[in-house]
Amino acid sequence: MFTGIVEELGTVVERAPRLRVGCAEVLTDLSEGGSIAVNGVCLTAVEVAGDSFAADLAPETIGRSNLGDLMEGSRVNLERPVTPATRLSGHIVQGHVDATGEIAAIDSLGNGNYWLKVRVPQALDRYLVEKGSIAIDGISLTIAAITGAVVGVTVIPHTFANTTLGRARVGSRVNIEVDVIAKHVEKLMRR
């Protein structure tokens, strides 16, 4: 389980045969077999070196996320899993991406704040509510507006500067994970 609070920006140093990410902070307690969220996707570190880790990408992961689009030099959001004593600063993020969305707009609101609009698949609409949570590329964000298939969120200066959103462009694919609690409630209500 993750919180959606990005700890570090890593850099893809190799794409094949395994995804290798250069980083520093998240390596301090990462060991082989440990979980790590990369752009919000829970991966298993299969190799840990002094300045990087490697992970295998399953066909399901490539098909459901934007990790297949990464190239050498791409920047990625990294987060280690929570521990029982960790504060839950964001929201419950499993690292199980539901689909990808597309950045529709990134507009400056002044003072380093941005209004981000993301087009999400219609199938996820039923899990999205204003003031609810959404993970975009593994970043815990609060939904401020929903207009059709477009979700709007405010991005504060810290998040813009310390995540991949600071480098995102209109048309970019982003990983979307909706609130798992909403999915459980839906299933219970059907019964």
Helices and strands of the chain, counted as H and E runs: 3, 13
Catalytic residue selected from 23, 37, 42, 168: 42
d(CA 54, CA 31): 11
Could you say which DSSP state residue 149 is in?
T
Q: Is 91 a catalytic residue?
A: no
Catalytic residue selected from 44, 99, 149, 154: 44
Q: Is 154 a catalytic residue?
A: no
Q: Is 53 a catalytic residue?
A: no
Catalytic residue selected from 49, 123, 142, 144: 142
Q: Is 42 a catalytic residue?
A: yes
Catalytic residue selected from 11, 35, 149, 182: 35
DSSP reduced 3-state for 156? coil
19 half-sphere exposure, CB direction, 13 A CA radius: 29
Catalytic residue selected from 24, 49, 58, 145: 58
Residue type, 89: S
Instruction: Give one DSSP letter per residue of 79-141, joined into a string.
Output: EPPP-TTS---S--B-S---EEEEEEEEEEEETTEEEEEEE--GGGGGG--TT-EEEETTEEE
Catalytic residue selected from 3, 53, 83, 96: 96
Q: Is 23 a catalytic residue?
A: no
Q: Other C-beta atoms within 10 Å of 150: how many?
A: 15
Q: Is 44 a catalytic residue?
A: yes
Catalytic residue numbers read 2, 35, 42, 44, 58, 96, 142
